């Protein structure tokens, strides 16, 4: 089977994606697959059309890879791929949207608050941190609403 391993990209998580992709490539080769290692760039669609892999293994991290973008492009061009589809990827990518979906379906999730950078810059949200701590208790986790890995976590 010819497997395109999509890795890299241009997100902040490029380096971890390159490492993940290299590990996937090695494993697929050990299993006897024909591997097309593709450091994703503006030629991705053209390359995939020319190489015609049987399936794409998405090893991209961050925007473009986890947010439904590459999945949608692959669907448009008729490519098969690993992982979740466009809707699930885009919903899971945004932690605020995902938490709302969990709560709506009765799935327990810790209480939380979500603020944009503008709320801190323009509305003084930092002055409410004491109340947030009092309402939620400690320990607290602060993480960007969009993004994977542990980038931006506090």
pLDDT tens track for 24-50: 999 999 999 999 999 999 999 999 999
Predicted model pTM: 0.82
Q: Please give the pLDDT value at position 120.
A: 86
Query: What is the pLDDT averaged over residues 103-107?
Result: 96
Q: Please give the pLDDT value at position 153.
A: 60
Cα dihedral sign, 48-9-150-94? negative
**How far apart are alpha carbons 49 and 32 in whole angstroms?**
23
One DSSP character per residue, 46-73 reads: HHHHHH--SEEEE---STTTSSSHHHHH
Q: Please give the pLDDT value at position 152.
A: 58
């Amino acid at each position: 089977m010819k497997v395109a391993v999509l890795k890299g990209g241009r997100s902040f998580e490029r380096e971890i994606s390159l490492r993940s992709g290299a590990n996937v490539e090695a494993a697929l080769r050990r299993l006897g697959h024909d591997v097309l290692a593709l450091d994703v760039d503006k030629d991705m669609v053209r390359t995939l059309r020319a190489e015609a892999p049987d399936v794409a293994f998405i090893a991209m991290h961050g925007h473009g890879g986890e947010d439904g973008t590459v999945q949608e492009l692959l669907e448009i061009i008729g490519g098969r791929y690993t992982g979740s589809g466009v809707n699930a990827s885009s919903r899971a990518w945004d932690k605020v949207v995902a938490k709302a979906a969990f709560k709506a379906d009765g799935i327990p999730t810790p209480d939380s608050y979500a603020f944009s950078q503008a709320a801190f810059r323009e509305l003084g949200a930092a002055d409410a941190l004491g109340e947030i701590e009092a309402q939620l208790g400690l320990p607290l986790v602060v993480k960007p609403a969009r993004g994977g890995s542990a980038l931006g976590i506090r």
